[in-house]
Copies of this chain bind each other. A is one copy, B any other.
Amino acid sequence: MVISMKLGATREQVEHVCKRIEDFGYKVHSIRGEERVVIAAVGSGDVTHCVESLQAAPGVESAVRISAPYKLVSKQYQAEKSRIRVDSATIGGDDFVVIAGPCSVESEKQILTTAHAVAKAGAKMLRGGAFKPRTSPYDFQGLELEGLKLLRRAREETGLSIITEIMSDKDVELVAEYADMLQVGARNMQNFALLKSLGKAGRPVMLKRGLSATIKELLMSAEYVVAHGNPHVVLCERGIRTFETATRNTFDIGAVPVLNELTHLPVILDPAHATGKSALIPPLARASVAVGADGMMVEVHPCPEEAFSDGAQSLTIEQFNTMMEDILPYIKLWKDVRAAAALARA
């Protein structure tokens, strides 16, 4: 921790702060600058509590922790990227994994048609919502159990691994029975009750970044899942909320190299939710491969116009096929970059 005292802080205030730091079990280094006193605290203890306490102490301008607040998800804990096995697919390994499927599971025909098509085009996982988080209580809320059963059916027919959203800690067991991977939506990224229960889910988790979550907060939410017993977490950047309205959100592609410096967890990108417009997906798909993400998630619907939700950002099957062809040479380059990096490490 580094604590800056206010200009004009009294000797008593400085001494009080030093005493508090020692009470928390840290060693004090006090430095008298030209303008103010700065105190460094060295050691180990309950950092968060100590920092918060000092922020409330008289005469303190700021108290800042230096060490990262996450541990298990950090690069320091594990230098090499985690390979997350999701049934037949592996995220974080030697393949750029494409996850595709409709926003919502709507009918047997819709999900099976889509599943067969995306499998043929090269997707490794099928997405589809059975429990849908909708802004309005009057909108389609998903087929629930019926939707889960249809996803299982699609899995049996195509061999695709299944990912679907989980919205409440109450439903963990149910959803884990049907899906290969559980998705936490952006609006639940800090639903801590849910995160804790996913620690015991026995299934890998895809954690989507909240609309206004910092990268540090995303990592802290992942830390919740891991600290509660489940190390199989994949992160997903899906656009953040900014002032710009030309796209639904702003696609923060820079999060990929930032996360790659901080964590061993794989990172995938979701340009569809980030922008809300299907026409923007193909160029952003190319960029997603080039930037070095571990995979990508896109929405595909046999007839986007008839989708119960998110039609505007869904690709048709034909558009998806074209996109997959488009990114093929980029995926080849991606494999070269990975291989070169592996070689450099060896």
A: residues with CB less than 8 A from B are: 2, 4, 7, 20, 29, 31-36, 38, 40, 42-44, 48-49, 52-57, 66-67, 69-70, 76, 133-140, 167-171, 187-188, 190-196, 210-212, 214-217, 220, 223-224, 227-228, 240-247, 250-258, 261, 271, 274-275, 278-280, 283-284, 286-292, 304-312, 314, 329-330, 333
Contact = CB atoms under 8 A, between A and B. Distances in A.
Contacts of A245: 214, 245
B250 A254 contact: yes
Contacts of A289: 290
Contact of A136 (B48, B257, B329): B48
Given A191-B191, A216-B246, A223 B136 contact: yes
Contacts of A279: 257, 261
7 contacts: A7-B76, A135-B217, A212-B241, A212-B243, A250-B250, A250-B254, A284-B291
B55 A312 contact: yes
Nearest to A211: B212
B212 A312 contact: no
A77 B25 CA distance: 38
Contacts of A283: 256-257, 290-292
A288 B286 CA distance: 10
A254 B307 CA distance: 24
Nearest to A188: B191
A311 B168 contact: no
A167 B192 contact: yes
Given A29-B29, A29-B31, A290-B330, 4 more contacts: A52-B309, A188-B191, A240-B244, A287-B288
A66 B70 CA distance: 25
Contacts of A280: 254, 257-258
A305 B274 CA distance: 36
B246 A243 contact: no
B214 A284 contact: no
B290 A52 contact: no
B38 A38 contact: no
Given A240-B244, A244-B214, A138 B304 contact: no
Nearest to A20: B305
Contacts of A56: 278, 304-305, 307, 311-312, 314
Nearest to A131: B193
Contact of A33 (B33, B66, B307): B66
B242 A250 contact: yes
Contacts of A242: 240, 242-243, 250, 252
A39 to B, nearest CB: 10
B215 A193 contact: no
Contacts of A329: 333
B168 A193 contact: yes
Contacts of A215: 244, 246
